[in-house]
C-alpha cells in the first residue's frame, strides 16, 4: 500500500447546517495519503452529508477541506481530484458499458485513443472486459456496481469516495464486492473514503475507522482500537465489542 506521510485529506472544523439546524458539528480529521478510511455510524448521523461536502456536492457551512495539500473548500466537484461511487449506480441506460466508462473523459474533451486506453485499463482492473458492449440493463447488480466503480477509476482521482456502494446488493455479492474493493485499494494505492452503516464492512476494509453519531466524531482509530478500546458505550455498542 502506497502510504506516505503526506496528508491525503484534512477536515478542519467542518460544519453543515440545513436551514437553522446544524447536522455536522465541527468535524476535525486527518487522513494520510493512501489510507482506507471508513465513516461508520447509524442512519442519519451525517455520513453522506460529510462525504458530499468532501465531494463538493454540498456546500460547507463553516470550516476547511484540504485534499492533497490544497484547499478545495470553494472548488467545484470536478476540480477536487475526487471521484464518487454511489449506492445507486447512476449509469446511463441507453449507453454501452464502454461509453458509460468513457463518458466523463469524453465530456472533458480527452482524445479518443486516451479514452480507449483508460477504459481498457479500468475494465481489466475490474474484470469487466467481456461486458464492454452490453448496456446496463443487461448486467447483474454486481456487474453494474463494477461499472460504476470503473467510471470512478478512469478519472484517475487522488481520492475515491464511496457512499454505501454495496447496500443494494444481496449478502453474498456484498461479500465478494467487498473483497474486490479491498483488492482495488491494494492495487491502486489511492486514498479511499468509504461510508457504510455496516460494521463488518467497516472492520474488514478500514485502515482507520471514524465512528460518527449525530454529526460528531465519537472515535477515530484502527479497527482493532475501536473494537478493543472503544471510547464510550455508544462505540462499544455500535461496533459490537463484548464490553
148 interacts with ligand ADP by CB under 6 A? no
**Angle, CA 229 vertex, CA 43 and CA 35 arms, to 5°:** 65
Task: Spell out where the chain has E strands.
Answer: 7-18, 21-32, 36-40, 62-67, 70-71, 82-85, 159-163, 191-196, 208-213, 216-221
Judged by CB, which is closer to ligand ADP: 50, or 67? 50
> Residue 166: is it exposed, middle or buried by C-beta count within 10 angstroms (0-12/13-18/19+)?
buried
Cβ 186 to Mg ion shortest distance, Å = 26
C-alpha 136/C-alpha 92 separation (Å) is: 7
Cell of 34: 493512501
How many residues line the site for ligand ADP (CB under 6 A)?
Answer: 10
C-alpha 41/C-alpha 212 separation (Å) is: 5
In the list Mg ion, ligand ADP, none, the entry touching 44 (Cβ below 5 to 8 angstroms by class) is ligand ADP
87 interacts with ligand ADP by CB under 6 A? no
Given 1, 2, 28, 44, the residue binding ligand ADP (CB under 6 A): 44
Stretch in the footprint of ligand ADP (CB under 6 A) among 1-9, 47-55, 83-91, 103-111? 47-55
In the list ligand ADP, Mg ion, none, the entry touching 46 (Cβ below 5 to 8 angstroms by class) is ligand ADP
43 interacts with ligand ADP by CB under 6 A? yes
45 interacts with ligand ADP by CB under 6 A? yes
Closest to 165 measured CA to CA, from 124, 135, 130, 201:
201
Mask of contacts with ligand ADP, 176-205, x by CB under 6 A? Answer: ------------------------------
231 interacts with ligand ADP by CB under 6 A? no
Helices 97-107, 112-126: inter-axial angle, 10-degree rounding:
130
Q: CB–CB of 147/97 below 8 Å?
A: yes
Site for ligand ADP in 19-38 (CB under 6 A): 23
Cβ 193 to Mg ion shortest distance, Å = 13
Cβ 85 to ligand ADP shortest distance, Å = 15
Cβ 10 to ligand ADP shortest distance, Å = 20
Binding site for Mg ion (CB under 5 A): 48
Closest to 32 measured CA to CA, from 191, 188, 156, 158:
191
Amino acid at each position: 500500500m502506497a502510504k506516505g506521510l503526506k496528508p491525503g485529506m484534512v477536515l478542519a472544523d467542518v460544519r453543515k447546517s440545513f436551514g437553522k439546524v446544524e447536522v455536522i458539528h465541527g468535524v476535525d480529521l486527518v487522513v494520510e495519503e493512501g489510507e482506507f478510511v471508513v465513516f461508520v455510524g447509524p442512519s442519519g448521523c451525517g455520513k453522506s452529508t460529510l462525504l458530499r461536502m468532501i465531494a463538493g456536492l454540498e456546500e460547507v457551512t463553516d470550516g476547511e477541506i484540504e485534499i492533497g495539500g490544497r484547499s478545495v473548500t470553494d472548488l467545484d466537484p470536478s476540480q477536487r481530484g475526487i471521484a464518487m461511487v454511489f449506492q445507486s449506480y447512476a449509469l446511463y441506460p441507453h449507453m454501452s458499458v464502454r461509453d458509460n466508462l468513457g463518458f466523463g473523459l469524453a465530456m472533458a474533451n480527452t482524445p479518443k485513443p486516451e479514452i480507449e486506453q483508460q477504459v481498457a485499463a479500468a475494465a481489466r482492473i475490474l474484470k469487466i472486459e467481456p461486458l464492454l458492449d452490453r448496456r446496463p440493463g443487461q448486467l447483474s447488480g454486481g456487474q453494474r456496481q463494477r461499472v460504476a466503480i470503473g467510471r470512478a477509476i478512469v478519472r484517475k482521482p487522488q481520492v475515491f469516495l464511496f457512499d454505501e456502494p454495496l447496500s443494494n446488493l444481496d449478502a453474498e455479492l456484498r461479500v465478494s464486492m467487498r473483497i474486490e474493493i479491498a483488492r482495488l485499494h491494494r492495487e491502486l494505492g489511492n486514498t479511499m473514503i468509504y461510508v457504510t452503516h455496516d460494521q463488518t464492512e467497516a472492520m474488514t476494509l478500514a485502515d482507520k475507522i471514524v465512528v460518527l453519531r449525530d454529526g460528531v466524531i465519537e472515535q477515530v482509530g484502527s479497527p482493532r482500537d475501536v473494537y478493543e478500546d472503544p471510547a464510550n458505550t455508544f462505540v462499544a455498542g455500535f461496533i459490537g465489542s463484548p464490553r
